Amino acid sequence: MKFFVDTAEIDAIAELNELGIVDGVTTNPSLIKKSGRDILEVTKEIADLVDGPVSAEVVATEAGAMIAEGRKLATIAENIAIKLPLTWDGLKACKALSAEGHMINVTLCFSANQALLAAKAGATFISPFIGRLDDINLDGMQLIADIRQIYDNYGFETEILAASIRTVNHVTEAARIGADIMTAPPEVIRKLAQHPLTDKGLEQFLKDAEAAGIKIV
Ligand code: E4P
């Protein structure tokens, strides 16, 4: 499973990138707002920092304007994936921009039919939002499973990018189902390393090491 980081915070991306676990980055207008940075400037910095795809989202809603924005975003760097919302106009823009050879991340996907359309329109990535479905008492993980089955049934190459991941269990479940990629905030990725029995075990080992006077260097 590939790991994307869902943030526009350079320091957090850099720290995770040093560990070699960052396969890409996703941003959206809310994350850009949170960073307080100019979209073109911060996206360029991120794209220079990581080797994988960096998603940058359009803000237009009409296909022609989305295409113009997408083309502009794509000039930032070679590894930009243009992020388009899953609307009818977004699908039109997806078709046009993917035909030009751009990577496209179709975002705000909440149904299997939407995912089917995005794949047929040439999306590189489909982003089903797990957490936001769970927020309204629907089953976000079932959506990942449905899309996995449908894409496998017909051999679609669009990669399933499990998004809106809020918990470590979301990561486990998405990986079990076979999502190609997950994108999560840095704090969720850091939590993947945590386990109370690891902390407890280490505490005991350190006590015993001290009692035994173990010194290595
Ligand atoms: C994905 O590309 C989105 O930026 C993100 O995962 C949305 O997550 P949220 O629902 O926690 O805002």
Please give the angle made by the CA atoms of 25, 21 and 131, to the nearest 5 degrees: 55
ipTM for this model: 0.97
13-66: per-residue pLDDT in tens? 999 999 999 999 999 999 999 999 999 999 999 999 999 999 999 999 999 999
From CA 20, how far away is CA 43, in angstroms rounded?
20
pLDDT at 157 (0 to 100): 98
77-117: per-residue pLDDT in tens? 999 999 999 999 999 999 999 999 999 999 999 999 999 99
With a 6 Å cutoff on the Cβ, whether 132 touches ligand 1 is yes
Pick the CATH number of 2-212 from 3.20.20.70, 3.40.1640.10, 3.20.20.100, 1.20.1250.20: 3.20.20.70
Tell me the average pLDDT of the chain: 98
| Domain layout of the chain by residue ranges | 2-212
With a 6 Å cutoff on the Cβ, whether 26 touches ligand 1 is yes
With a 6 Å cutoff on the Cβ, whether 171 touches ligand 1 is no
pLDDT at 4 (0 to 100): 98
